[in-house]
Amino acid sequence: MAEPEFTATGVRIGKRLRSLTQAGQVRISDGRLELLTSYGREIDSAPVQAVRASKPWFAHDDRALADVNGTRYTLTLGDHDPAPGEPGPPAARRFIEAVRKAAGRGR
């Protein structure tokens, strides 16, 4: 198994107004995006070419949107990258860049 291209833990994952998990995981590995619960159970996954990641308007810097299999998920990541060696989710901006890079869309 290849090293994941992007991993974030402690991510709040929601669908519409409903919270699915408070401390979920987001992983991009082998060209696939996975949204997981804190226990590692899959919420949704899809090839990164089929995923659309964006920054919502009028939202905090720690939020990102991910359209996966026709479902829009709200991801609450960190508002800034944690210090090296410190726990915590990376910034939402890094997630969006990772999806675009893995899908071959550049910036």
pLDDT in tens, 72-101: 999 998 766 677 777 666 788 889 999 999
Q: How many domains does the chain have?
A: 1
Q: What is the CATH number of the domain that holds 23?
A: 2.30.29.30
State the pLDDT at residue 3. Answer: 65
Residue 52 lies in a domain: yes
Residue 1 lies in a domain: no
Which is higher by pLDDT, 59 or 9?
9
Q: What is the mean pLDDT of residues 5-16?
A: 91
Domain boundaries, position 92: 6-105
Which tens digits make up the pLDDT trace of 13-30?
999 889 999 999 999 999
Residue 56 lies in a domain: yes
Residue 100 lies in a domain: yes
Strand extents, DSSP E, the chain: 6-15, 18-29, 32-36, 42-47, 52-54, 63-68, 71-76
Residue 32 exposed, middle or buried by CB count within 10 Å (0-12, 13-18, 19+) = middle
| pLDDT higher than 70, residue 107 | no
Which tens digits make up the pLDDT trace of 30-76?
999 999 999 999 999 999 999 999 998 887 788 999 999 999 999 99
